[in-house]
Amino acid sequence: MNRRNLIKNSALATGGILLNTASFANKNNPNMENENLKLKGNFKHSVSRWCYKKTPFTDLCKAVQSFGMHSIELTGPEEWEEMKDYGLTCAIGWDKYPPGIKLDNFYSNPDNHDALENYYKLLIPKAVKAGVKNLICLSGQKQGRTDYQNMINCRNGIQRIIGLAEDNGITISMEYLNSKVNHPDHQFDNMEWGVALCEMIDSPNFKILYDIYHAQIMEGDVVATIRKYHSYISHYHTAGVPGRHEIDDTQELNYRFIMEEIKKTGYTGFIGQEFVPTGKTEEEKLAALKESVLICDV
């Protein structure tokens, strides 16, 4: 079966989603083809599952595959198995957190360290089996502690599992989140704190997930930060500012320029689309993903 027929049949199997998406995309952007994207290959392309949580997972897999992408991230072991059927991997993974552990209550709170140690000791072997190389972690909130005390707490907790990660070729990546709009009181909300934590842990398997949306809200100066600290970064996330929507010309960041600068650093890893699409239909939402991949394909 040639490529064009494969795309056509996949679209029909999902109720026409892919063909409708391509039609929508062509109407709004003549550079978007009604077939697999012919990407340059300088980066690998991913999308966060939660941004398309209303899209049936099988349909999302088929769309992502047809767009020439490589990954659906922030997925867990059960989804990793299904993704293999579509030639996809997970750029950065997670699994359901233990009771009490959540985005804003993580490593900065030492009461969580026992549960997190068990969590990663179970998850790392599953990641190895599935070929997933990167797992997410978070600092959590300050909760009245000083920046330095939380850095010590995070170091102490992560040191419990970083040896296992090193032995298995797994990178543990802590995400930079903003504390102004989305995550009040979050500890890791500036790049210098995250870099200092990396230095304190001193492992090639602990790095930073640099979320450009969050970084723009907190500090701006995104390109200068990437130029200075790119060696500490294992993964990038995108989203438009303000609003966390599409990365097109409706927002303030020039993502094509940012991607050119990331390319200059020698980075060849994953670019994770983590915007919330504004389209009303599934076709419009998937077309926005396709357009974002093209913007980042430099």
pLDDT digits (tens, 9 = 90+) for 40-55: 999 999 999 999 999 9
User: What pLDDT score does 130 carry?
Assistant: 98
- In this prediction the pTM is 0.88
Contact 66, 84 (CB under 8 A): no
How many angstroms from the chain centroid is the CA of residue 11? Answer: 26
pLDDT tens track for 86-120: 999 999 999 999 999 999 999 999 999 999 999 99
Low-confidence residues of the chain: pLDDT under 70: 1-35
CATH number of 43-296: 3.20.20.150
Distance of CA 129 to the CA centre of its chain: 20
Question: Do the Cβ atoms of 213 and 240 come closer than 8 Å?
Answer: yes
CA pair distance 140, 138, nearest whole angstrom: 6
pLDDT of residue 37: 76
Please give the pLDDT value at position 38. Answer: 84
